[in-house]
Homo-oligomer: A and B are copies of this chain.
Amino acid sequence: MVMAEFGGPDVLTLREVERPEPGPGEILVRVFASGTNPVEAKIRQGVAIPDLELPAVLGGDVSGVVAAAGPGVTDFAEGDEVFYTPELTSRLGSYTELNVVSAAIAALKPRGLSHVEAAAIPLAGGTAWEAIVRRLAVRPGETVLVHAGAGGVGSFAVQFAIAAGARVLATAGPDNQDLLRDLGAVPIDYHETDPVEAAFEHTGGKGADAVLDLVGGENVAKSSDATRAFGRIATVLPLDGELRSLYQRNQQLHGIMLTRERRRLEELTPVFERGQARPVVDQVLPLGQVREAHERLDSGHGRGKTVLDLA
């Protein structure tokens, strides 16, 4: 599924391309499923990586099977089931049947998960893991607020924070309150309830211990307002506007953009294998309907993940 120019979803077109060959340290992977992510819509619009060389194949999540290993690869052999996120600036994304990737950033697919489920994890689950487990370092007994908790990253973040022993407050629109409840969160309908007030209500007036802001911009100041003194905030987006409570309350703010590494995938795998978290796959489409997935990404009203099934 090739993008030859920036634009709307219809710039994604099905084409035969040359079969990629794995170089030294690389593996060739037969893609069984590909996730879709908001950043891919922004790349497609020409916003996220305006200097990306075209034509390019988009897509940030692979689950598949190793078809060939390049020279020097000792970690994987033909037939291994793997999952990973291709490099963001790669022109070889996951909306394709065959993908070449550095073996160093791929990991064995979690056992017991289908390719469709596994393909939902690497980018969004990896981002949530980086935020909740590594950077915010959520601990048992804490109260965590996740803004946009029903989305791709948010639905993983809610589950990881609960797995880490925290109580989770999560915001979403009215249609996704049920999903938040199913994931184990206290649902907050942001049309009806001010998340800052909710955070204070649930913590005896102290504020949340940690907040994950998946909205960005001026919402980061609200996330800071909802956080206790010496609490932590993380954002995966730019922030904007005045931010006063960060210093007044001795808080720390983490900026997060996913780096590619095998280790993070290996860290989060047991959580899925043991059933402490599950990918929220809301929609499964064939590769040929990727435009429909992008229309949904453009709308900004995601619920879990849309996955492309190439099996």
Answer yes or no: A205 CB below 8 A from chain B CBs: no
* Contact among B239, B244, B245 for A242, CB-based, below 8 A: B239
Answer yes or no: A247 CB below 8 A from chain B CBs: yes
- The chain B residue sitting closest to A229, CB to CB, is B259
CB–CB B250/A243 < 8 A: no
Complex Cα gap A134–B103 (Å): 38
CB interface residues, A 225-256, toward B, < 8 Å: 235-256
Q: How far is the CB of A135 from chain B (nearest CB, A)?
A: 7
Residues of B within 8 A of A252 (CB): 135, 252-255
Q: How far is the CB of A16 from chain B (nearest CB, A)?
A: 35
Q: How far is the CB of A230 from chain B (nearest CB, A)?
A: 9
Copy number in the complex reads: 2
Residues of B within 8 A of A47 (CB): none
Answer yes or no: A4 CB below 8 A from chain B CBs: no
Q: How far is the CB of A205 from chain B (nearest CB, A)?
A: 18
CB–CB A253/B256 < 8 A: no
Complex Cα gap A136–B251 (Å): 13
* Contact among B240, B251, B257 for A243, CB-based, below 8 A: B240
* Contact among B237, B239, B256 for A250, CB-based, below 8 A: B256
With A252-B253, A253-B252: A236-B247 Cβ-Cβ less than 8 Å: yes
Which A positions have Cβ atoms within 8 angstroms of B? 135, 235-257, 259
11 pairs, CB–CB < 8 Å, chain A vs chain B: A135-B252, A235-B247, A238-B243, A240-B242, A245-B255, A247-B256, A250-B256, A250-B257, A250-B259, A251-B254, A253-B255
List 10 extra interface pairs beyond A239-B243, A246-B255, A250-B256, CB under 8 A: A235-B246, A238-B242, A241-B241, A245-B255, A247-B255, A247-B256, A250-B254, A250-B259, A252-B252, A253-B255
